[in-house]
Structure 1
Amino acid sequence: MIRQSMKMAWKSIVSNKMRSFLTMLGIIIGVMSLVVLVSMAGGTSESVSNQIASMGSNMLTVTIKDDKGTPMKLEDVEKLTKKKAISEAAPVAQSSVTAASTYSDETATIYGTTGAYVDIQELELYAGRFLKMTDVDNHTNVAVINAGLAINVMGRMDVVGETISLDGVDYQIIGVLAADDSDTTTTENYEAYIPYTSLIRLTDDVSSDITSFCVSAASENSMDDAEEALTNAMMEWFEQDEDAFTVINQSTVMETMESVNQTMQLMLGGIAAISLLVGGIGIMNIMLVSVTERTREIGIRKAIGAGRSVIMMQFLIEALMLSLIGCGLGILFSWITILIISNVGDADVIYQMSMNVVWIAVAFSVFIGVVFGIYPANKAAKKKPVDALRYTG
């Protein structure tokens, strides 16, 4: 009986191809909205989360807004590591310079810091070494460059021992950072790391007064202890003025980002669900029209013995088929759309069609087909054979 109902439903759908397609269009758009929007939100949020995670999972960043006449110096930052919950600390200052060699030149971001920075930020070296305390103490003109500078300014990765010009000042390259294979934009970023004291000499933008530094907690489990110890130390330094500085907890940023991502996906999913509901109303409208058009057919089937359940199943299956076919087409078009966006969009963001979202779309389409198909099917099943046979349209 179900098989026969499916055949009749399919015959009805293909006999009015344009009308059937327009009926399914609401479901197609709704499914595309759900799958594409949620997949894009997931890809974007994953990219942002990876960037945040790459900055270190147990890092705290301090920005000083008002030194209260008692600015922190390099030695003051280093003293913070004496606290049990804090493992390492490093000042951070940055400026923009022109990095040049005989091969090429580019505008680069240069960071002034100390040797602890490599561990705090969890940077990976391709070759050479990172900065040492002796480099900072002696104001040595040495630099660690990233893969972008190595490839595009120096011409290759193996450049340890060679010289690079930063705003006209020669620096010996002592290390090269490894390129991140998962990030195709690594070689488009130009960064160099030099001793903090050398940056003071190179640019007027940076002084010996520390305005920003980062620290790492002894472990990921002691992040709260490290934040408390750091905050207490800063409050003591700046005369209990909490507005003089800000402390950013990296793990808190990650948790906040995950919460924002979940809220965004729920919001986009809700918007897409409204599109699916609109598509379901379209199915119900067309099914009501179909019931009216096939009134005599219903009368004949009832006259030869078809029961109410048979008639109801026929129209319910037809509504369900319209919804599922629309869902299938929506998933296909979603896959094509995501593929196009991935190829023409930001290479750093990977968009993938989530199978969880696909199954949600299928389940919701089944729900829409059943809910919005029941009323027309019930209306058809309740028609009296005599009245149905007398109907002339």
Structure 2
Amino acid sequence: MTKDLLMWDETLFRDPEVFEIDYVPEQFNHRETQMRELAFQIRPGARGGRPLNTICRGLPGTGKTTSVRKLFAEIEAETKKLVPVYVNCEIDNTKFAVFAQIYRKLSGHLPPASGTSFKQVFDAIARILQKEEIVLLVTLDDANYLLYENEINRVLYALLRSHESYPGTRIGVIAIISDMNVDLSREVDPRVASVFRPTEIYFPPYSADEARHILTERVMSGLYPGVLSDAMLDLVVEQTMKSGDLRVGLDLLKRAALNAEKDARKKIEEDDICLAYQVSKYLHLSFTLRTLKDEEKVLLKTIADMSSEGKEMNAGEVYTHAKEVMKIGYTRFYEIVKKLDAMRLINLDYRQGRGRTRVITLRYEPQRVLDLLA
């Protein structure tokens, strides 16, 4: 029996990094068509022109970010004249924050946190682009978060019309959209639309065979031989397809292996996978909650607390409860409610009665939301 148990200094992981969400594999399969289209859009930038603007659109976990990161690595290895900048708009979702990340890429450090205006940062970026004759390619990952914050037009306008204030600057944009309810081309205002004119590249969900192939490659790279049987891999694929997000499968593999290690076993068993899935299936919820501002978290907690009572909630009732725990006016309250609805944390429905009643329902189990917020 002891030969099936791990020694204190042994591990099941050959390379734990393989299962991290932001890991970029050397072999990246099943997105060859999208990669070719992206490369075509970027090509003018490599020749000193302005890259064509692009929208990468698809559900979470369909390879959009990895495709862009893969191409960015190739660009950085080949040229210094086309500089790719990656901005995570879940985290950096204001105009200043986006341009601060661009400045950091070009200068090697962030601008001062206080006492620096947006114009000063933009001037510094433009000077570098003009002096070095650099073409800039900016990826706005999860650009839908800029839309939720009403920042998308301000960011795109500044980027795409920079040549009007700073002659010779050439900037292209890749916007990654994971919210399939968002049509960015229609959301931007006319002054932005006239210069944006993006090509849309669609990333479809992975099929079961494709998911299995990708997860198999990660298992071979990340775990030692014999740790995961074919039958257990089938179960992981089944759970991954149930969630519709490949990232859930990667997280599930990592957590299942950790569960087996905790019991000092050399093989992953069904209970390890089932236990891991109870956490991994909320991966999207967990990531989304991290991006909320403090007042947004307080309001969501209020909604979750009220949802625990099992009664229907209208917006007026929620606002009354929210005012008891936070200082907030109705206009700001309703802005947050609309954002939580757009982020698919709640449903905001309209019901006809005496006038038009707004009904709020939580999309997830209240206790799970409360646990993650805590």
Superposition TM-score, scaled by structure 1 size: 0.27
Answer with 1 or 2: which has the greater Rg: 1
Higher share of residues assigned helix: 1
What TM-score does the superposition give when structure 2 sets the normalisation length?
Answer: 0.28
